[in-house]
Amino acid sequence: MRAIRFGTDGWRDIVADGFTMENVRIVAQAIASYTKETGQQEQPILVGHDTRFLGRRFAEEIVSVLTGNGIRTYLVNEAAPTPAVAFGVKHFAASGAVMVTASHNPPEYNGIKYIPEYAGPATPAITQRLEAWIQEIEKSGEVHTMTLTEAVKQKLMQVIVLRPHYEAHLRRMINMDALKGSDLRVVVDAMHGAGMGYVSGLLAEAGVSTVGIRETPDAAFGGDLPEPNDKHLTLLKKVVVNQQATLGLANDGDADRFGAVDRFGQYIPPNDVLALLTYHLRKNRDLTGRIVRTVATTHLLDRMAEKYGLELVETPVGFKYVGEQMRKGDVLIGGEESGGASILGHIPEKDGVLINLLLAEMCATENKGIDQILRDVYDEFGELFHTRLDMRLEDKDQWIQRMISLPPVQVGSYRVQGVNRMDGIKLMLEEGHWVLIRPSGTEPLVRIYCEATNASALEKIKEAIREWFQEINV
């Protein structure tokens, strides 16, 4: 049997292969055992799910196990975004939450995220403890369950309505008055995920002309991948142009990631979105605090931090590390290049719904298109060019270890001026360029992130990297 492992953000597997009712019960029992071990069994646990296949049924099975262990459980009444469920942990003073989701993975996957009492991603220490409990339970086979009927009878299970509480919080986080006075026209793509109706609903409430697409639940996600990146937002781009909209906004399957398209149907990479929001929060809201980014995220944020006189904190890849910094307080914005971010005053969990609303607020405040504001940012701080290459390599771990122990002195024509081993290996090149090399956690791939101060240099760096792998695979 394949081992149950918590990756960067939870456990994911293929439904009816690794992700089975039996394994879900084992994970739920591990969470119940961990809850008791940490003395939090008197507090409730929230259980939520997104729009994936059998999501509700898996969620009910988790409730059966938690209540079977005598733990009060709040089952969310409908498919909900991960950030909404995380917010619910704080709102309902819960010991944590269990979210049934595989986020942006293909439709045949499902998964479980455990959200501890601080309402952010579980730290490696917590997931390691959960994995230890999983191994013990697999050996003993001891899983306690209770029927939902009995759980209700014993007042251990309650169905809760979460959405109004989360939306009320978002109204406090967003300048709704700025939206009300604008002439924005926005297209919102829910990608058939749990975020359907959240962004479009709040924008429409503020009087913004809003068009919603793919806002019906579909476990197959329309035959596409629910990942709001350049490749999978073709429909959004087309509708934005056809509707002559100001901007397009999108969320992934559980709405913790964001996606953005300008009025010309051009995709705006998350790196640029993070720079835009930093600019907006400083200029238009006059907020301050630390700027937190992962090691794979743009150094344009470093330039902005320096000019604004703010501290810049770099973390390993994974929002759990950004969330750790947010829990310490005084973080203006924390984000990662894969499309996750949160801001001051919000939970330490990435929230695509909030970020999309902030982008609309920014355009309304500036009375400009997202492309025009981005040009303002480039004019003030300079433009950086970035990309990610995924190179297939069966012995990726050994290759990267060799790279870490004996780093190259040059990448193409650019000398290596510094080495950062925080996560994989990051080569700091002359002229302000850099390359980060790290293994994929799930596939035989090496992920290589590159950033350069001009487009020509980026192409030269990419060419040099491809040559490395041509030599390896000869």
**φ and ψ of 343, to 5 deg:** -135, 175
Residues 153-163 have pLDDT tens digits of 999 999 999 99
Are 179 and 364 within 8 A, CB to CB? yes
Whether 211 has a pLDDT exceeding 90, the answer reads: yes
The Cα 56–Cα 49 span in angstroms is 6
The Cα 387–Cα 469 span in angstroms is 17
**Please, what is the average pLDDT of the chain?**
96
Are 327 and 118 within 8 A, CB to CB? yes
Whether 121 has a pLDDT exceeding 50, the answer reads: yes
Residue 179, pLDDT score: 97
Residue 59, pLDDT score: 98
Q: What does the pLDDT average to over 91-118?
A: 97
Count Cα atoms within 13 angstroms, Cβ side, for 157.
25
Q: Which two tokens stand for residue 370?
A: 């997202």
Q: What does the pLDDT average to over 131-152?
A: 97
Are 145 and 68 within 8 A, CB to CB? yes
Residue 472, pLDDT score: 59
Neighbours of 125 (CB within 10 A): 7
Q: Is the dihedral of CA 294, 295, 301, 306 positive or negative?
A: positive
The Cα 4–Cα 12 span in angstroms is 9
Considering only 6-20, 69-83, 316-330, which range has the smallest mean pLDDT? Answer: 6-20
Q: Is the dihedral of CA 49, 50, 52, 53 positive or negative?
A: positive
The Cα 265–Cα 94 span in angstroms is 42
Q: Catalogue all structural domains in the chain, each as residue range(s) with its CATH number.
A: 11-162 (3.40.120.10), 182-381 (3.40.120.10), 385-472 (3.30.310.50)
Sequence-ordered list of residues with C-beta below 8 angstroms from that of 461, at least 6 positions apart, any chain: 411, 412, 414, 429, 433, 435, 450, 452
Residues 367-424 have pLDDT tens digits of 999 999 999 999 999 999 999 999 988 888 888 899 999 999 999 999 999 999 999 9
Are 50 and 221 within 8 A, CB to CB? no
Q: What does the pLDDT average to over 428-453?
A: 92
Q: In b/e form, how buried is each residue of 337-357, taking b as 16+ CB within 10 angstroms?
A: bbbbbbbbebbbbbbbbbbbb
The Cα 111–Cα 107 span in angstroms is 11
Residue 13, pLDDT score: 94
Q: Is the dihedral of CA 7, 9, 11, 12 positive or negative?
A: negative
Whether 474 has a pLDDT exceeding 60, the answer reads: no
Residue 7, pLDDT score: 74
Q: What does the pLDDT average to over 247-266?
A: 98
Nearest residue to 249 via CA among 218, 280, 213: 213
Whether 261 has a pLDDT exceeding 90, the answer reads: yes
Helix 370-381 to helix 300-308 angle (10° resolution) is 70
Are 57 and 20 within 8 A, CB to CB? no
Neighbours of 369 (CB within 10 A): 17
Residue found under tokens 């196990």 = 65
Neighbours of 373 (CB within 10 A): 22
The Cα 284–Cα 365 span in angstroms is 8
Q: Report which residue type is found at 28.
A: A
Would you call 377 exposed, middle or buried from its count of C-beta atoms within 10 A (0-12, 13-18, 19+)? buried
Considering only 81-95, 149-163, 189-203, 459-473, which range has the smallest mean pLDDT? Answer: 459-473
Residues 224-234 have pLDDT tens digits of 999 999 999 99
Residues 12-67 have pLDDT tens digits of 999 999 999 999 999 999 999 999 999 999 999 999 999 999 999 999 999 999 99
Count Cα atoms within 13 angstroms, Cβ side, for 6.
27
Whether 336 has a pLDDT exceeding 90, the answer reads: yes
